[in-house]
Amino acid sequence: MRKSGFVQELSKNRSLFLMVLPAVVFFFIFSYLPMAGMIIAFKSYSYTDGIFGSPWVGLANFEFLFESGKAWLITKNTVFFNVIFMVVNNFLEIVIAIILSELAGKYLKKFLQSAIFLPYFISWVVAGAIVYNLLNYEFGAVNTFLKSLGMGAIDVYNNPDYWVYILAFFSAWKIVGYGTVIYLATITGIDTEMHEAAKIDGATLFQRIIHIVIPYLIPTIIVLLLLKVSTIARGDFGMFYQLIGNNGVLFDKTDVIDTFAFRALLDLQEFGMSSAVGVYQSVLNFVIIILVNEAVKRYSRDNALF
């Protein structure tokens, strides 16, 4: 009896299927099964009735979200910060990767790469403590230093305007090392004969970077940007919550969709609205990635995600 196509493929490549099985199970349990909870966005949830027994309210939770006046603010903040992070972090990742690739010292290169990569493993809880001890008005290291110079202290936690720069700085401090490794791996894949030929032709280091390295990096840049755009409406909850906390003075400039949904759930016990915020966020991310992917297709179909 002849096996079906799927069974035959499964038997032929069983080792590959076994390798991918943990990832499939992980995403099924933590990404697909929880999607059933989206129904809460359309219900007035109560502990007594549970998820499926709670009364249906249709789009009332979404109406409450948009009528609260916060929907536009948190959406604007989320997209704004993610665009800043994408531009700054990607630029630094590319620049640092190119610098590291050009360094001659083997041990210096490894040391710098490890030093840049290390903050990636530091949790935002620890990073939040570091930021607080640096920027606290009364005893923070920065203000203590300024006072020692006879200058006035800066009240960072009561001035929202500073936090665009602070969040951009610490996002780069923590994330850039990871992206640098990806770009550095791409650069090491460039054929060294291309560089040697360019040197023979009299090309300077800057010219080789512009005409050899950057074009080679463009497909990687596009793919990484597309992956980041796919979550452009999803703020880094750990960073925003640990660095900002519940400081209401800063909410107008720093409140993002994720922190708003968390407070709605924790402080107001609004399960329906919190779920509605999550659904709104997911739909927004989906629409954005579809539009951006279509734009990339028009430029270069080979570099699109799908």
Average pLDDT over residues 169-175: 93
Q: What six digits make up the tokens of 194? A: 């291309």
CA angle 193, 198, 204 (to 5 degrees): 135
**Predicted local distance difference test score (pLDDT) of residue 23:** 93
pLDDT confidence tier of residue 3, bands split at 50, 70 and 90: low
Find out whether 37 and 275 touch, Cβ atoms under 8 Å: yes
pLDDT tens, position by position, 108-121:
888 888 889 899 99
pLDDT confidence tier of residue 1, bands split at 50, 70 and 90: very low
Question: pTM for the complete prediction?
Answer: 0.84
Residue 268 has pLDDT above 80, yes or no: no
Residue 292 has pLDDT above 50, yes or no: yes
Spatial distance between the Cα atoms of 189 and 213, rounded to a whole number of angstroms: 10
Min mean pLDDT across 56-60, 68-72, 211-215, 257-261 is at 68-72
pLDDT tens, position by position, 149-168:
888 888 899 899 999 999 99
Q: Count other Cβ atoms within 10 Å, centred on residue 197.
A: 12
**Predicted local distance difference test score (pLDDT) of residue 266:** 82
Min mean pLDDT across 41-50, 54-63, 192-201, 292-301 is at 292-301
**Predicted local distance difference test score (pLDDT) of residue 91:** 94
**Predicted local distance difference test score (pLDDT) of residue 4:** 62
Which residue in 222, 199, 225, 226 sits closest to 212, CA to CA? Answer: 199
Please state, rounded to an integer, the average pLDDT across all residues of the chain.
Answer: 86
Find out whether 180 and 93 touch, Cβ atoms under 8 Å: yes
How much of the chain, in percent, has pLDDT values that exceed 90? 25
Spatial distance between the Cα atoms of 290 and 269, rounded to a whole number of angstroms: 33
Q: What angle do helix axes 257-266 and 237-244 make, rounded to 10 degrees?
A: 70
Spatial distance between the Cα atoms of 125 and 78, rounded to a whole number of angstroms: 20
